[in-house]
Structures are given as structure tokens and as C-alpha cells.
Chains A and B, each alone.
Chain A
Amino acid sequence: NAGVTQTPKFRILKIGQSMTLQCTQDMNHNYMYWYRQDPGMGLKLIYYSVGAGITDKGEVPNGYNVSRSTTEDFPLRLELAAPSQTSVYFCASSLDRGSYNEQFFGPGTRLTVL
């Protein structure tokens, strides 16, 4: 099992450009999440998905879009990049039932918007 994989690892964007951060998990988890982490801060939830075709906003969704066409993939789209979106982005997945909700995180994508 590769777990949660993210691409790219690093990216520099110019203001106004667009890009898609890719996230794939091979654990057959129904729940998937996107977080951002600014320097020295905790993680903030951007969007999450409870299954294919179902997504919902988290704490900081503005400027981002997501889709979930398959169980495995949960891409995050930035349409008009802004310097405020400079951050490290983490994708995570978890089981959707049971007595715990351990989230498995990917290695992150470091994004800089100039």
C-alpha cells in the first residue's frame, strides 16, 4: 500500500495562475480531506468528501474547488492563485465508520504564489 500520495511536491505559481493539486489513496477509504498549513500554524480544513460524488466545505474553502469522481482521487483546484494561498497543502483519508477516525496524511505539497 502506498497510502496517500500527493503530486506535485513543490510548485511556484504566479498570481492569477491556476493549478490542480492531486491526491490519491489506495486504502479504499471513503473519507478524504484537504488541509492547508501556514508556517508555524496548525492545519485548517479546506474541503472534505464523504464518498465519490459528495463534497463539502471546511473552515477555509474560499479560492478552492474540489471534485470526487472516484473513491481513490480527490483533486484540489486553485483557480486564481493569490499570495495568501502560499502554504503547505496536505491531503488525508480515513475510514468512514467505526469507533475511531484515524486520518492518514500524504507528504504534502509546498505551494508558493508570487
Chain B
Amino acid sequence: LAKTTQPISMDSYEGQEVNITCSHNNIATNDYITWYQQFPSQGPRFIIQGYKTKVTNEVASLFIPADRKSSTLSLPRVSLSDTAVYYCLVGDVVHTGTASKLTFGTGTRLQVTL
């Protein structure tokens, strides 16, 4: 399984765009990149997933360069309610025999203030 590295914490002001980068140098050909969000005292919640280039949904964008050795989660115009821990996961989600072993690291703690 590809190991991921994220910043431990980030701070932002409300209304700014936040970019959280995740490094995964030994990502495998079949691996997808998935991001989860976790609020205190709650289970993680799926945000976005991608394989290459750019993926966008109503919540965030995910940028993946051609070499796929890193990825960037972009949160546009954050609000106080975006204060949470964000996890980057890398793993094979198509061949379901290994999909069950996605590993959550310690994540990035994002603090949004006024």
C-alpha cells in the first residue's frame, strides 16, 4: 500500500481557498486517491476521489499531476464549518480484494477562523 504524507495542520481565514497537498511517491498503477473529512466526535465522510488530472464536485476539487506522486485537495472559500481533519488515502478501489485495506494516516487538521 502506498504511504501518504500530509501536513499535520493548516490554518486559514474564512473565505480563502485552502489547498492541502498529499505526497504518495510509491503509488501503484491501480491505486486511486481518496479524501475524507472528519469532524470531532463523528466518523469520516467521503469528499472526493480521483485517478488522474482533475476531479471536481460540489464540495472540492482534486488535482493530480501526471506522475501521480502527489495530489492536492482544494477547498474553495472555506467557512468556519470546514474546520476538520482531512485524510488522504491511496489504494486500489477497483480490485476489491485490496480495497478493504485503505489506510487512514493522521490527516491534516484544518483550522478556519474569522
| Of the residues B41, B99, B104, contact of A101 by C-beta under 8 Å | B99
Cross-chain contact B104 with A35 (CB below 8 angstroms): yes
- Say yes or no: is A74 at the interface (Cβ < 8 Å to chain B): no
Q: Which residue of A lies closest to B99 (CB)?
A: A101
Whole-angstrom distance between the alpha carbons of A56 and B100 in the complex?
10
Number of interface residues of B (CB under 8 A): 23
| Of the residues B41, B94, B105, B106, contact of A99 by C-beta under 8 Å | B94
Cross-chain contact A58 with B101 (CB below 8 angstroms): yes
Contacts of B13 in A (CB 8 A): none
Contacts of B93 in A (CB 8 A): 99-101
- Say yes or no: is A42 at the interface (Cβ < 8 Å to chain B): yes
Cross-chain contact A42 with B96 (CB below 8 angstroms): no
Closest chain-B Cβ to A70's Cβ sits at a distance in Å of: 19
Cross-chain contact B87 with A42 (CB below 8 angstroms): yes
Instruction: Write the A77-114 contact mask toward B (1 if CB under 8 angstroms, else 0).
Output: 00000000000001010101101111111111000000
**Interface-centre pick from A50, A59, A102 (highest chain B CB count, 10 A):** A102
Contacts of A102 in B (CB 8 A): 34, 46, 49
Cross-chain contact A43 with B100 (CB below 8 angstroms): no
Please report B residues at the A interface, Cβ cutoff 8 Å.
Answer: 32, 34, 36, 41-46, 49, 87, 93-94, 96, 99-107
- Pairs of residues from A and B, 9 with the lowest C-beta to C-beta distance, nearest first: A105-B43, A101-B93, A42-B104, A43-B104, A102-B46, A48-B100, A101-B99, A90-B43, A42-B106
